Amino acid sequence: MSLQWRIARLRAMSSREIAFRVGRAVRARAERFGLGLASAPPPRGSAGKAWVETLPRGFDAAPYTSAADRVLSGSFRVFAMSDARLGFPPRWNTDPKTGTTAPLEFGKGLDYRDARKVGDIKYLWEINRHLELVTLAQAWHLTRDERYAAGCRTLVDSWITQCPYPFGANWCASLEHAIRLTNWSFAWFLLGSDDSPLFRGEDGQAFRSRWLTSVYQHCHFIAGHLSRHSSANNHLLGEATGLLIASLTWPMWDASHQWRVLAREELEREALEQTFPDGVNREQAVWYHHAVADMMLLAGLVGRANGVEFNTAYWQRFQSMLEFITSIMDVEGKVPAIGDADDGVLVRFDPAPDFDVYRSLLATGAVLFGRGEFKFKARMFDTKSRWLLGDAAEDAFRRIDANPKALALPPRRAFPQAGYFVLGGDFETPHEVRIVADAGPLGYLSIAAHGHADALAFTLSAAGRQMLIDPGTFAYHTERRWRDYFRGTSAHNTVRVDGLDQSVPAGNFLWLEHATAAVESFETSALRDRMVAHHLGYMRLPDPVRHRRTWEYVHSSLTLIVEDEIECKADHRLEWFWHFAPGCGVRVDGNRLVARNDGVTLVMAFPASLTCRLETAATDPPLGWYSPGLDRKQPSVTAVMEALVVASASFTFEFRLGISSRSR
């Protein structure tokens, strides 16, 4: 960690947090010398109950056995590496991407941000989450083929041997422990729980003892190292989820009750604290919105199966989170890539690379709450929902009335606390136009770790064809230049002033100054939708600049009018960035820009005073890229428009849509 980063990080902390972290450092130093480490007593009793009374079996086993066979052959799917040949078992302390082997130093003292030491920590941690363990356990559950059970034992046993407590990169972060525990729990039940053939005989009992000792060490670690203060984002919820699931799966020690109580209290509090009352996760990142909803879902189901029911507010907030997904999802099931996304899942229930996490949440929610809106958007009862709710849940899904004429679709169009609003018309029809406008805060807490500098940006799809998009994330811990680009203002459909981001970054997951945005009005009618908002991110300049944007969508003509008002007193350089989806053909014709995508045409008229150029796959600086997932990017078209102003000015853009029968 550089001195500059340390100073910036301190600036994002309160005095109370600084004192807390000093105490944590003292504790870590004591643990380095063996003080306060976990000492697992012998387990007593049996495991708790599985998340569903009868484990489902109504699956085609082939996808699971095929995926399990790939794992046994040493092939792992790790982000952009769809076929990482890591061997079986892999080298658990080696980053699959760079081949760097992290040292077996005391975990809490290891700088996992140092790529020279650990490689790309996202890749290293991903294989250590043990998503593949569940795949192997699913294959055994469906076939009873001993190879898959043996593979589970090899995977767990090798990890315990190669990653001795408390050393190495896999004993750094509580969230990683929690996700690993969650996968261990689901695999434990799929393998037969206490009656698993893995535990037969003296050797099997010895393996069970080693596994449970590691479980205890994991729980002890999480309970003593929960993310707090400015780090108490989705990590804290994930840690509580893993700790709750583990304490209910293995209630075998005196400490298990304390861990369960702690985890439940954290979950009930943080689920409400980290999600706005309107149902949007405060991190302002749609992927993490899904991740938090999934944490709440799994914790809730495991808790319910074991007599630990969460309160009504918890489940109401979860239901509101699904309403948000329903509202921003277009007619073809696509959601905007707002904010950070790391492709991470809590448990990989379906091994298909293109598994739809959003529709799956809606399918599960449809059964849990009897919501036709969720069923309509989910379209089908998916495999993950079957694993979670059981075979009988499909009949419940079928019985839900999902006639769109009787449903409120979208359920809501205004999410005022989060700052997201949906404009457009003909929703859920072949003529749909869906505009998602962003006038929300940068992110959550003082570091706003997963937020992007995207105030007053918006996305636009027509007939389910994405036209104007959010380009995504691409990079996390490595490749700082690309990290800064994809989360910066130039990677969003908004205005940049003087070549500066709206908010001031100070690290890969740290913003020092946050642009604040406010919605002045939002109204919808049969004739038009209109929204007005502003942000103050550039008020920090020597000559302060205020950006005010008005969106007006006219239903009859399928036309969106965007007016940008720039309030200032001196000279400034303005840049507009319009990011088009891959597959869009884009050309400039005078002061018009014409984009086409599979039967949808977008004609954009812009002020003649602006210059316009098209950028595709540029690298210096980066422009014209779309990231479909972590560490993956592909060329797309970005239109860049520029103007110099000497005082306040206004600029109007007209987007006229045409939808042909071919796109319907």
- 3-state secondary structure string across 447-477: CCCCCCCCCCCEEEEECCEEEECCCCCCCCC
- pLDDT block averages, 10 residues each, the chain of length 664: 81 91 91 94 97 98 98 97 97 98 97 95 98 98 98 98 98 98 98 98 98 98 96 97 98 98 98 98 98 98 98 98 98 98 97 97 98 98 98 98 93 98 97 98 97 98 98 92 97 98 96 97 97 98 98 98 98 98 97 97 98 97 97 98 97 97 58
Cα-trace Rg, the chain: 25
Listed in sequence order, the residues at least 6 apart from 34 whose beta carbon sits closer than 8 Å to its beta carbon are: none
Could you tell me which residues are beta bridge partners of residue 613? Answer: 640
- Name the residue among 450, 518, 440, 447 with its Cα closest to residue 483: 450
Structure tokens, 127: 């294989």
Could you tell me which residues are beta bridge partners of residue 551? Answer: 531, 562
- What pLDDT is stored for residue 4 in this prediction? 82
- Whether 335 contacts 325, CB under 8 Å: yes
Listed in sequence order, the DSSP H helices in 144-196 are 146-162, 174-190
Q: How far apart are CA 456 and CA 472, in angstroms?
A: 16
Q: Where are the domains of the chain?
A: 1-37, 52-225, 414-663
Phi, psi for residue 537 in degrees, rounded to 5:
-60, -30
Q: How many CA atoms lie within 13 A of 663 on its CB side?
A: 24
- Whether 483 contacts 627, CB under 8 Å: no
Q: Sign of dihedral through CA atoms 295, 485, 128, 263?
A: negative
Q: How far apart are CA 654 and CA 562, in angstroms?
A: 6
Structure tokens, 116: 């020279």
pLDDT in tens, 281-307: 999 999 999 999 999 999 999 999 999
Q: How far apart are CA 405 and CA 28, in angstroms?
A: 59
Q: How far apart are CA 223 and CA 226, in angstroms?
A: 6
Structure tokens, 654: 């007209």
- Name the residue among 249, 344, 339, 253 with its Cα closest to residue 294: 344
- Whether 612 contacts 606, CB under 8 Å: yes
Question: In degrees to the nearest 10, what's the CA dihedral of 110, 115, 117, 123?
Answer: 80
pLDDT in tens, 548-562: 999 999 999 999 999
Which amino acid, one-letter code, is at 290?
H
- Name the residue among 467, 527, 469, 437 with its Cα closest to residue 659: 467
Predicted TM-score of the model (pTM): 0.97
Listed in sequence order, the residues at least 6 apart from 289 whose beta carbon sits closer than 8 Å to its beta carbon are: 280, 281, 283, 321, 324, 325
Q: How far apart are CA 454 and CA 533, in angstroms?
A: 13
Q: How far apart are CA 96 and CA 109, in angstroms?
A: 22
Q: How far apart are CA 538 and CA 560, in angstroms?
A: 26
- What pLDDT is stored for residue 603 in this prediction? 98
Residue linked to tokens 């997932």: 629
Which amino acid, one-letter code, is at 172?
C
Structure tokens, 248: 């209910």
- In angstroms, the Cα distances linking 248 to 174, 175, 194, 255, 302 are 18, 18, 14, 12, 8
Q: How far apart are CA 506 and CA 513, in angstroms?
A: 9
Q: How many CA atoms lie within 13 A of 338 on its CB side?
A: 35
Q: How far apart are CA 132 and CA 152, in angstroms?
A: 9
Match domain 414-663 to its CATH number in 2.70.98.70, 3.40.640.10, 3.40.50.720, 3.40.50.1000.
2.70.98.70
Q: What is the DSSP letter of 140?
A: H
Structure tokens, 562: 């965007």
* 3-state class (DSSP) for residue 622: strand
Q: What is the DSSP letter of 71?
A: H
* 3-state class (DSSP) for residue 384: helix
